Every structure is written in structure tokens, then in C-alpha cells.
Structure 1
Amino acid sequence: MARIAVIGAGMGAMATAARLAVAGHRVAVYERTETYGGAVRRLERDGFAFDTGPGLLTLPAVYRDLFVKTGKEPLESVVELVQVDPSTRHVFADGTEVSLPNASRAGVVSALDEALGSDAGARWGDFLVRAREAWDRTRRPLLEEPLWPNWSVLADREPYPSVPHKKLLRTRRAGTLAEVGAWELRDPRLVALLESHALAYGLDPRVAPASAAVLPYMEHAFGTWYVRGGIRELARAVYERCVARRVEFHFGVEVTGVLEKDGRAAGLELADAVAAEADFVVAGVAPDVLSRCVRGTAVREADAVPPQRGLPSRLTVLLALRGGRPEGAAHRTVVHAQDRERELDLLFGASSGLDAHPTLTVLRPDDPGVVPGPDHEAIALTATVPADADQAGPTSEVFDDHADTLITAAERAVPDLRERLLWHEVRVPADIAEATGAEGGAVPAPALAAAEGRLLHPANTTGLPGLFTVGGWSHPGGGLPHAGMSGALVAGLIVEGPEFRGSR
């Protein structure tokens, strides 16, 4: 039985802790803040409850597997999963609207044909077939296996089977998601639909590889799910599973260093010079936080995938409304930007400022557990924004002011929003930074193949034997399902050793 010290109580860290505890190890988690869940938080006020992190779940099988592998109690016995249908309502810049059914290719094709014109559905359906091929090629190496030592193979290989595009005398294949949209989908509304999936993860579709096609495919193939009471209920369930398996949690404890002995990790140095000895250390924190804790030793080897930098953040506006949720309202609506190129320039560095008409996600859960009564509604607005305050970037005060812009944009989806508004609260990138420790409140993106490895994440092993990394800033990257998968990978590497190659 080994002693395991875990830095942070995010979703990936807790998934690791639960699996290691079931394997017979003594696990202690040290969390800087006063609660668990990392970015998966909740705000409660006046009988309203809001998720301040992710609001929906894809690939619920990841957490079903976690609960099966850590006890006899299935996930559905501790949380209520609801499949969201329609999956998404889209409001495009020209005023066109379409509601896409959940996990139904035929239904999606029919809806797109009716809303956007004949052949639109067929083009999107054909794209999904190609996206599935990219998924099949990358699922194991990018989600289910530890990062390959020869990871450069993934960096060079584009798994998306692009359609040849002829222009003048040249034949080209799409290398970026934007080129997939322009050459294979062609309709600007279909392009906006495609690119909104990348933007939701903080990716610029103009440079994101064509393999980012797996992002819309995951939602299409495995559905979009809501946890009754909010996604925070999933974090609670994972935390309680850890406690039931005798994982120790220490909240409000700052980790100041990783102890080393005989060239390997040997525990943690806590505030006030208190030491917590361990045989293995698992770090579920952002790269800069970990680098400060590991002094004098390179966390990553010279040929390792470098940590991602310069990622954007999210701005969230939480709205308490009088009046009940209208029957038939979509759970999720994406309101598309009026000028997508301008929005991308502002987000990814070609210009400065915040877009007055951004791409916006509106979440309207049909859940009596998040409102004080049937005559109220709770809505969350989310937009991708630059990370908080460097010298030239936006500040928290600017983001607060931008919240009114999001409310105005949301009126395209909820026309009577301002008349019904009781109050609102804003969660800016600085709040994400406080919860997760990520510089500027940056949010990690999922791992993707190709693009010279820019969207891969460092391996879960490190340059210091006995130290492992978990969560969105290491393989396989950001997102709730990816966090759960990273927990399974790290637990496997500790229990089975370097020969572990993933679950079969």
C-alpha cells in the first residue's frame, strides 16, 4: 500500500484519488481553496442556483466507468442524468434559426434542410461521417492511452479525411477547421455552426487543425446531458465517492513545494513548513503552479510536449428572472456573432477589445431545483473572452462592463429578458484564476492531433520520477470527460507502472 499525495481537488484529481483508494492506497488530497471541484463551482442566492463552470456534460460513459470501477453503486444512483433535447438551438447572424435534435443524424439532417435549404443537411451529414473517421483514429491515443513517447507522430498526422478541393490548377485538402467549413460545408451558417464548437473550447478555427471535427462529433454521437441540480452535483458525487473510499481531504491548505528524496518525489511541503510524506505525488494544477512547487528540477523533459500558452478564458453572466421558463424553451441556445472574423481577431490577438456582438451560449435548464419556485427562471450566459489582465489585455472591470453586452446579445434568444430580470452576477476570468490557479483564468482545450503538436498536452508522467500530472493542463486536456479520463490514466500508471497502456 503506497501513500499518495494529491495537489488540488479538481475533477481529474478526485477521479484519480477514488481509483487509487479502491486499489488499496492511502490517498490524501490537499486543496488550496475551501471546496472541491476546481472550475466546477456553484453560486447560490435568493433560492437560485447556478453552475459557474461547465453547464452540460458530454461522454457521460467516462463517469459511469469511474463509479463502476470504484464501487458497486452506479452513477445514476447518485445523480440524475437528463438527455438534453434539442441538443442546441442556433440563432445565426442573418436571423435564421434551427434546433438540432440530440444524437440523431437523420433528425439533424432534416432540421438543417428545413431551416437552411435542401442539401445543407446532406453536407453536414457527410461531414459527420468524416468526423467519425477522425474520432476512430484518435480516440485511443488521445483519450484512452498515456501519451505516446513518440508523440510527434500525432503532431504530424492529420486524421481528418478532408475532401480534395480544387482551385485553379491546384488540389488542396483542408488542414484547419476553417478550411473544412469553407471548402466542405460552404454555407456560412453551417460554417458558424461548426466553428462555434471550437470557439466554445477557446480554439481559433482558423488555426485549429481539421481534426477539431471530433468536437462536434462527440456531441452528435454521444449526446448532450444535464445533471439534475446542475453539474456541481456531479462534482459532489465524485467527492462523496472519494470520501466513501476513505480519501482524506485537507481544504484551505497551500502546497508550497514537492519534496524530493533520492531523485524522486517524496511528498509535499505545506504552508508553515509542514511536510506530508508520500510515495507518489499527483498534481492537478496549472503548469505555472506546479513549476513553483518543483524547485531545481525540470518538471518536463526536453523532448516533452510543452504546456499550452496564451489560451483564452470565459465570461459568465448569471441571471435571476421573474416568470417561469416557457414550455418548450431550448436548454441551450447558441447566438452567433454578427461578424465572426472580427470576433476571432479580437479574441486571438489581431485586434484589441471585446466584440459588441459575440458568439454567446445561453443555458436555460428545465430544473425546479435551481429556482425558488415555478414563477422564476435561472439563465446562464457564457462567452469566450481573452484571459484576464496582462498589460494590454482586458481587466476584470472591463469584463464586468462587457456583461451588459452579453445580456443585450442574449435578447436575440430570450426577447423579454431585460423586462424579467431581477438581478445578475458576473463571473470574470479572475474568478476562474482564483478557483483553479490558472494564470489569467485561462481554460485548457482538449488535446487534438496534427497542428505540429500545438494542441497536444504534456504527458501525465514528468521529469521527476514519482510525480504525475492530472486534469485539463495535462494529457488528454480540458473538458469534463477529459478530466475523468486523465484520472483513469494516472491511476493506471501508478498501479500498473510504466507498462500501462490504457483500459481495454
Structure 2
Amino acid sequence: MARIAVIGAGVGAMAAAARLAVAGHRVTVYERSSTYGGALGRFERDGFVFDTGPGLLRLPAVYRDLFVKTGKEPLESLVELAAVDPASHHLFADGTEVSLPNASRAGVMAALDAALGAGAGERWGAFLIRAREAWDRTRRPLLEEPLWPNWQVLAREPYPAPKQRRLLRSPRQAATLGEVAEWELGGGHLGALLECYALEYGLDPGTAPASAAVLPYMEQTFGSWYVRGGMRELARAVYERCLARRVEFVFDAEVARVREKDGRAAGVELADGTLVEADHVVCGADPRGLERMLPGRELWGPDTVRPAATARPSRFTVLLALRGARPADAAHRTVVHSPGATAEARAAFTGKHDEPPTVTVLRPDDPAVRPDDDHEAVTLTATVAPSGPVDWTDEALVRQYTDRLIAAAARAVPDLRERMLWHEPRTPVHIAQATGAGGGSVPAPSLAGAGATLLHPSNTTGLPGLYLAGGWAHPGGGLAHAGMTGALVAGLIVEGDDFRGSQ
């Protein structure tokens, strides 16, 4: 039985802790805040309950596997998963609308034909076939296996873009998602639909690789799911599974240093001076913080993927408490599109925010998140630059951007301003406080192509015995990918060099 210290109580770190405890190890989690869950936070006021992180779950099989492998009670016996149908309602800048059914390719194609004209569904369906090929090529190495030693092969673009003849130039293949949107989907509404998937994950469609096509493929193939009571309930279920497996938690315990002995990780030192011995250390926090915890120690060799040198985009969220019942026909998720996602991304990611934002409006039909049926809890979210390039402590800026999100959402929620009781903005500063990520950055899933610049560091490091879990490690951000880090880290510790990936 090994002693294992886990830094951070995010869902990826807790997933690793539960699996390691089941394997017979003694696991203790040290969390600098007073609660678990990391990005899966919750805000409550006057009977209203809001998620402050991800609002939906994709690839629920990752968490079903976690609960099957760590106990007798399956996931669905502990939380109620509800398929979101329609998966999304889209409101474009010119007023055109389309609702896309959940996990139904044929239904999506029919809806696009009805809303955008004959042929739109066929064009989108042909795109999804190519996206499926990219998914099949990268699913194992980018989701289910440790990062390959020859990870450089993932720099190649896996998306099989058809060759396009552009004016008098030689035929070319789309290299970015923006080019896929323009060349293969013809721009317009279909292009805007594709680009919003990149923007949701903090990616610029103009620079994101064509392989980002796997993002809409995953959603439209495996569906979107909501956890009754809010996504925080998923974090609670994982936490309670850890407790049932005798994982120990120490809250308000910031790790100041990772201890090293005989060339390997040997425990942690807390900010209050407490020394903790361990045979393995799992870091579930932003790995850039390891430079502070291991000063002078090189963790990333010349042939390894290093943590991102600059802060990635973040999210700006507005929580709305509304009087009046939620209409029965309201979509759970509505995307109010900016006139141009690429222009918006380029402005937002540089900190200018001078383009209209694309706003996601979440309106769950869930009695647990509202005081009664005569009120409604609504969450608005937009992708923004992180704190640092933008001063998100500037109250005037926060008020201005809050108003921009509310103005956009008013297109989807009739009489929004008249119904509003109060609103609460949540900026990248709040995300940084909750997760410890620099600038409140939100990690995107790892993607192939783009010269391997969108990969995340391996779950192993240059210090034997020190491992990485959570959204900032391979295979990256998003609830499903972060959850997979738990399976990968546990496999690497338990099986060592024989581990070949999750089955």
C-alpha cells in the first residue's frame, strides 16, 4: 500500500483519488479552499441555485465508468442525469433560428434543412462524417491513453478535409476550423454554427485546427446531459464516492512545496509548515504552479509537452434571478450568435472585447434551482480574455460587459429586463479564486494538428513519482476529459510501464 498525496479537489483529482483508493492505496487530498469541486462551483441566494462552472455534461460514459470501477452503486443511482432535448437552440444575428435535437444526426440534418433550406442538412451531415474520421483517428491517443512518447505525430492534422480549388491557386485543404466553416459549409449560418463550438471551448475559429471538428461531433453523437440539482451534484457524488473509499480530505490546506528525496517525489509541505510524506504525489492544479512548489526543478524536458506559456481564455458569467414561471417550451440551452465568431474571438482573446459576444443562455427546467415555480434561474456565459490582459476587477468594465450579455440574452428571453429581480456577475477573477488557474483561464480539450500546440502536458513529469491530473493535464479540459485524467493517473501508478490506456 502506497501513500499518495493529491494536490487539489477538482473532479479530475478526485477521480484519480477514488480509483487509487480502490486499488488499495492510502490517499489524502489537500485542497487550498474550504470545499471540493474546483470549477464545479455553486452560487445560492434567495432560493435560487446556479452552477458557476460547466452547465452540461458530454460523454457521461467517463463518469459511469468511474462509478462502476470504484463501487457497487452506479452513477445514475446517485445523481439524476437528464438528456437535454433539444440539445441547443440557435439564434443567429439575422434572426434565423434552429433547434437541434439531442444525439440524432438524422434529426439535426432535418432541422437544418427546415430552418436553413434544402441541402443544409446534407452538407452538415457530410461534414460530420469527416469529423467522425478525425474522432476515430484521435479518440484513443487523445482521450483514453497516456500521451505517447512520440507525441509529435499528433502535430499532423487528422481531419480529412477535401481539397478545395481557390480561384487560380493550387487546390488546398482547410487547415483551420474557420476555413472548414467557410470552404466546406459555405459560411453563413452553417459556418456560424460550427464556429460557436470552438468559441465555447475558448478556441479562436481562425486559428483552431480543423480537428476541432470533433467537438460538435462529440456533442451530436453522444449527447448533452444535465444533472438534476445542478452540475455541482456530480462533484458531490464523486466526493462522496471518495469518502466511501476512505480517501481523506484536508481543506484550507495550501500546498507550498512538493518534497523531493533521492530524485523522486516524496511528499508535500503545506503553507503552515506541515510536512507530509508520500510515495507518490498527484497534482490536480494548474501545473504552472509547480514552478513555485519545486523551485529550480526542471519538470519539462526538451522532448515533452510543456504547460502553456500564456494564460488561455476564460469565461464571463451572469447569474439571473427572474420573476415569472419558466415557459414550458423554453430551450434548456440557447446560443445567441455574434455576427462573427472569428472576429469576436480575435477581439476577446486580445482583451479588446469590442465585438458583440456570443452568449450561451441556460434555462434548466429544474425545481431544485429556483425558489418556486413562479421564478426562474437563468445563466449567461461568454468566452473572454483572462484576468491580466484585462482588469476584471474594474467595476465599470464588469458592469458594461454584464449589460452586453444581458442585452444579447434578451433576444432569447422575452421581457428579460422586466422580469429581473437581481443579477450576479462572475468574472475570470472568481474562476481564478475557485480553481487556482492563472488569470482564471479555462483549459480546452487536447486537439491534434496545429503543430501539437493544443496538447497538454503528460500525466507523468520529469520528477519520478509526480503525476498530473485535471483539465490542465493530458487529455485536457472539459468535464469528460478532466475525468479521464483520473483513469490515466491511476493506471500509471498502479500498473506502471505496463499501462496502455483505459479499457
**2:17 is the alignment partner of 1:45:** no
Matches of 1:253 and 1:293, distance apart in 2: 14
* Shift of residue 345, structure 1, vs aligned partner: 2.4
Matches of 2:348 and 2:407, distance apart in 1: 19
Partner of 1:66: 66
Matches of residues 151-170 of structure 1 in structure 2 within 5 Å? Answer: 151-155=151-155, 157-167=156-166, 168-170=168-170
**2:446 is the alignment partner of 1:479:** no
Matches of residues 24-173 of structure 1 in structure 2 within 5 Å? Answer: 24-155=24-155, 157-167=156-166, 168-173=168-173
Matches of 2:355 and 2:427, distance apart in 1: 17
* Shift of residue 300, structure 1, vs aligned partner: 1.6
Q: Is the 8 A contact 1:388 1:396 kept in 2?
A: no
Q: Is the 8 A contact 2:349 2:384 kept in 1?
A: no
Q: Is the 8 A contact 1:342 1:355 kept in 2?
A: no
- Report which stretch shifted further, 69-78 or 493-502: 493-502
Matches of 1:303 and 1:339, distance apart in 2: 38
Partner of 2:427: 428
* Shift of residue 169, structure 1, vs aligned partner: 4.1
1:295-324: per-residue Cα shift (whole Å, max 9, x none)? 231122221112123311000000000011
Q: Is the 8 A contact 1:263 1:465 kept in 2?
A: yes
Matches of 2:270 and 2:342, distance apart in 1: 47
Structure 2 stretches of 5 or more lacking a match? none
Matches of 1:116 and 1:40, distance apart in 2: 36
1:349-392: per-residue Cα shift (whole Å, max 9, x none)? 3xx522452100000000001000000000000000000134x6
Q: Which amino acid aligns with 1:444?
A: P
Partner of 2:287: 287
Partner of 1:344: 345
**2:315 is the alignment partner of 1:314:** yes
1:185-221: per-residue Cα shift (whole Å, max 9, x none)? 0041111100100000100011111000000000011
Partner of 1:450: 449
1:205-258: per-residue Cα shift (whole Å, max 9, x none)? 111110000000000110000000000000000000000000000000010000
Matches of 2:325 and 2:491, distance apart in 1: 47
Describe the SS at the equivalent of 1:133: helix
Q: Which amino acid aligns with 1:23?
A: A
Matches of residues 481-496 of structure 1 in structure 2 within 5 Å? Answer: 481-496=480-495
Q: Is the 8 A contact 1:388 1:430 kept in 2?
A: yes
Describe the SS at the equivalent of 2:115: helix
Partner of 2:235: 235
Matches of 2:343 and 2:154, distance apart in 1: 31
Matches of 2:177 and 2:497, distance apart in 1: 35
**2:255 is the alignment partner of 1:255:** yes
Matches of 1:342 and 1:184, distance apart in 2: 19
Give the 4+ runs in structure 1 shifted more than 6 A. Answer: none
Partner of 2:304: 304
* Shift of residue 278, structure 1, vs aligned partner: 0.3
* Shift of residue 401, structure 1, vs aligned partner: 2.9
* Shift of residue 432, structure 1, vs aligned partner: 0.4
- Report which stretch shifted further, 306-315 or 38-47: 306-315
Percent identical: 69
Matches of residues 321-400 of structure 1 in structure 2 within 5 Å? Answer: 321-349=322-350, 352-355=351-354, 357-390=356-389, 395-397=393-395, 398-400=397-399
* Shift of residue 394, structure 1, vs aligned partner: 5.2
Matches of 1:288 and 1:503, distance apart in 2: 26
Matches of 1:447 and 1:341, distance apart in 2: 20
Q: Is the 8 A contact 1:386 1:394 kept in 2?
A: no
Root-mean-square deviation over aligned CA pairs = 1.1
Aligned pair in 2 of structure 1 residues 169, 312: CA closer, same or farther (>3 Å)? closer
* Shift of residue 272, structure 1, vs aligned partner: 2.3
Q: Is the 8 A contact 1:400 1:428 kept in 2?
A: no
Q: Is the 8 A contact 2:228 2:368 kept in 1?
A: yes
Q: Which amino acid aligns with 1:73?
A: E
Matches of 1:301 and 1:400, distance apart in 2: 44
Matches of 2:109 and 2:51, distance apart in 1: 32
Q: Which amino acid aligns with 1:318?
A: L
Q: Which amino acid aligns with 1:380?
A: T
Aligned pair in 2 of structure 1 residues 140, 339: CA closer, same or farther (>3 Å)? closer
Q: Is the 8 A contact 1:396 1:429 kept in 2?
A: no
* Shift of residue 439, structure 1, vs aligned partner: 1.1
Partner of 2:221: 221
Aligned pair in 2 of structure 1 residues 174, 52: CA closer, same or farther (>3 Å)? same
Partner of 2:246: 246
Matches of 1:121 and 1:22, distance apart in 2: 47
Describe the SS at the equivalent of 1:357: coil
Partner of 1:413: 412
Matches of 1:342 and 1:492, distance apart in 2: 42
Q: Is the 8 A contact 2:266 2:280 kept in 1?
A: yes
Aligned length: 500
Q: Is the 8 A contact 1:41 1:232 kept in 2?
A: yes
Describe the SS at the equivalent of 1:498: helix
* Shift of residue 165, structure 1, vs aligned partner: 0.3
Q: Which amino acid aligns with 1:450?
A: G
- Report which stretch shifted further, 375-384 or 280-289: 280-289
* Shift of residue 404, structure 1, vs aligned partner: 1.1
Q: Which amino acid aligns with 1:488?
A: A
Matches of 1:360 and 1:402, distance apart in 2: 11
Q: Is the 8 A contact 1:323 1:375 kept in 2?
A: yes
Matches of 1:265 and 1:52, distance apart in 2: 34
Q: Which amino acid aligns with 1:310?
A: A
Q: Is the 8 A contact 1:315 1:399 kept in 2?
A: no
Partner of 1:195: 195
**2:177 is the alignment partner of 1:177:** yes
Q: Which amino acid aligns with 1:282?
A: V
Aligned pair in 2 of structure 1 residues 107, 255: CA closer, same or farther (>3 Å)? same
Q: Which amino acid aligns with 2:328?
A: E
* Shift of residue 340, structure 1, vs aligned partner: 3.2
